[in-house]
């Protein structure tokens, strides 16, 4: 039983409302950028690279700022500025759409490390898996509901630009809930050794970077599904399947008290590789392959989002939680930055090459964590 369950739920429901807003924008971005404003696919890959690339720096800075100036203060600041994504509803071309989305996404990254640090702050080490599992589950539950209302409204022929403006409401609610959290008020103190197990720490950061290569923007499967079926709402629904699986298994993984390193390797990185390999060679079958593969990718991300921050929090001193979570977010973003550029170029040739690249890089992450497990067993 979580001792500070109320604080865990406040942080988690803040994430729920945030995703209830901006995930509808995330799913809409490739549709608006590529299908409505007619931007070429390589430019879409570059756009996503800019989103995640600068987001890398923002995540790192957010973690440091949280430890220095107070995690709650920095998390709220970043959360407020996510509202820029909703302004994409006012865009008149793909350049404007990119600018609005990019700024909002940067600040989404900026606030994530201090928010994760707040979660670690209100829990004990043996509660972390459950707490981060709840955070991820409610986070993605909000995203799933966002995809549901987006799909329904698109089917009813409601303007996608109007829907985007509507997303500002749950984003404001997210900030209100986050402001009620009783954590993250203290400023960090300097310490000589912030990371207890440096080899493990940097191996996890490196593995999440390579997994970032395989964690292309889910906009690519949305585009694949839309192109194969000819229906934009079926592409969005693939994202819903992905999010539903991620939410369910995030909660289950947190409750099941699994071994963290083994679960990260096999349920996270290995399943991610299998999912990407499936997208490479089975997408042509249609929805009977696309939706199950989206489900597999959801399981994979649920594992990484539960066990990566749990492991990092356990090998870092409390005063450096924000900075270590910043490294974790930055590592993933570096991979996603480079991965989206390469994915965009390969996708232009064939989606098979793009997803095959993602599968290989995910296997590298699996091998890195497997090496830690084997070394630990040997000793």
The residue range of the domain holding 127 is 5-179+196-378
User: Of 338, 286, 10, 37, whose CA–CA distance to 161 is shortest?
Assistant: 37
* Contact present, 57 and 337 (Cβ < 8 Å): no
- Tens digit of each residue's pLDDT (9 = 90 or more) over 234-288: 887 888 888 889 889 999 998 888 999 999 999 999 999 999 999 999 998 989 9
Would you say residue 79 lies in a domain?
A: yes
**CATH number where 295 lies:** 1.20.1250.20
Say whether 195 sits in a helix, a strand or coil. strand
Token output for 379: 């000793």
Could you tell me if residue 70 is left (phi over 0), alpha (psi between -120 and 50 degrees) or otherwise beta? left
For residue 186, being part of any structural domain is answered with no
Q: What is the pLDDT of residue 350?
A: 92
pLDDT at residue 334 in the model: 78
Give residue-wise pLDDT tens across range 71-93.
999 999 999 999 999 999 999 99
Domain assignment present for residue 184? The answer is no
* The pLDDT of residue 42 is above 70: yes
User: Residue 372: its pLDDT value, please?
Assistant: 93
- Maximum Cα–Cα distance for the chain, whole Å? 61
Give whichever of 47-61, 141-155, 161-175 has the largest mean pLDDT.
161-175
d(Cα 183, Cα 11) in Å, to the nearest integer?
Answer: 10
pLDDT of residue 57: 84
CB 45 within 8 A of CB 341: yes
Nearest residue to 365 (alpha-carbon basis) of 250, 212, 202:
212
Spatial separation of the C-alpha atoms in residues 245 and 228, rounded to whole Å:
22
Rounded Cα distance between 329 and 89, Å, is 28
pLDDT at 186: 64
pLDDT for 347 equals 87
In a domain, 210, yes or no: yes
Q: Is residue 189 part of a domain?
A: no
Give a yes or no: residue 187 inside a domain. no
pLDDT for res 264: 95
- For 311: left if phi > 0, alpha if psi spans -120 to 50, otherwise beta; the answer is alpha
Strand partners, 195: 316
The CA distances from residue 264 to 154, 229, 268, 367, 372, in Å, are 36, 33, 5, 11, 11
User: Could you tell me which residue, 131 or 342, shows the higher pLDDT?
Assistant: 131
- 154-177 average pLDDT score: 95
* pLDDT of 332 higher than 50: yes
Other beta carbons less than 10 A from residue 190's beta carbon: 9
For residue 141, being part of any structural domain is answered with: yes
> pLDDT by residue (tens digit) across 190-208?
444 466 688 899 999 999 8
The beta strands (E) that lie in the chain are given as none
Nearest to 55 by CA among 217, 174, 219, 220: 217
What lies within 8 Å, CB to CB, of 96 at 6+ separation is: 88, 90
Residue 213: pLDDT over 90:
no
Higher pLDDT, 293 or 238: 293
User: Full-prediction pTM beyond 0.85?
Assistant: no
Average pLDDT, the chain: 89
Number of domains in the chain: 1
- 186 compared with 223, residue with greater pLDDT: 223
Task: Flag whether 277 is in a domain.
Answer: yes
Mean predicted confidence (pLDDT) in 166-189: 87
Q: Which residues contact 91 (CB under 8 A, 6 or more apart)?
A: 32, 37, 97, 100, 161
d(CA 314, CA 268): 19
pLDDT at 193: 46
In the chain, what are the helix, strand and coil shares in percent, each to the nearest 5?
85, 0, 15
pLDDT of residue 187: 57
């Amino acid at each position: 039983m979580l001792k500070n369950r109320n604080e865990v739920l406040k942080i988690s429901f803040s994430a729920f409302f945030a995703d209830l807003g901006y995930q509808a924008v995330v799913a809409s971005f490739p549709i608006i950028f590529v299908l409505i404003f007619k931007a070429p696919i390589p430019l879409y890959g570059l756009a996503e690279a800019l989103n995640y690339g600068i987001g890398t720096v923002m995540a790192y800075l957010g973690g440091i700022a949280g430890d220095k100036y107070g995690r709650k203060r920095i998390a709220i600041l970043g959360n407020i500025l996510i509202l820029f994504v909703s302004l994409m509803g006012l865009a008149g071309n793909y350049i404007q759409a990119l600018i609005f989305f990019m700024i909002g996404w940067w600040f989404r990254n900026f606030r994530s490390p201090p928010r994760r640090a707040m979660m670690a702050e209100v829990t004990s080490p043996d509660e972390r898996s459950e707490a981060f599992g709840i955070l991820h589950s409610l986070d993605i539950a909000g995203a799933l509901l966002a995809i549901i209302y987006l799909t329904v409204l698109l089917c009813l022929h409601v303007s996608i630009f109007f829907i985007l403006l509507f997303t500002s409401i749950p984003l404001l609610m997210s900030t209100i809930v986050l402001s009620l959290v009783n954590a993250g008020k203290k400023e960090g103190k300097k310490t000589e050794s912030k990371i207890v197990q440096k080899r493990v720490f940097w191996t996890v950061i490196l593995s999440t970077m390579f997994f970032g290569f395989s964690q292309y923007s889910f906009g690519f499967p949305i585009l694949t599904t839309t192109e194969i079926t000819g229906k934009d709402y079926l592409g969005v629904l693939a994202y819903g399947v992905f999010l539903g699986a991620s939410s369910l298994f995030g909660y289950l993984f947190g409750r099941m008290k699994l071994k963290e390193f083994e679960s990260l390797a096999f349920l996270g990185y290995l399943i991610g590789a299998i999912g990407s390999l499936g997208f490479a060679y089975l997408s042509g079958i249609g929805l009977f392959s696309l939706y199950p593969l989206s489900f597999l990718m959801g399981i994979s991300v649920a594992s990484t989002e539960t066990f990566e921050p749990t492991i990092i929090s356990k090998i870092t001193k409390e005063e450096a939680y924000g900075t270590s979570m910043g490294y974790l977010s930055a590592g993933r973003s570096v991979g996603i930055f480079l991965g989206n550029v390469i994915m965009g170029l390969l996708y232009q040739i064939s989606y098979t090459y793009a997803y095959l690249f993602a599968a290989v890089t995910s296997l590298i992450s699996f091998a890195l964590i497997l090496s830690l497990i084997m070394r630990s067993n040997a000793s």
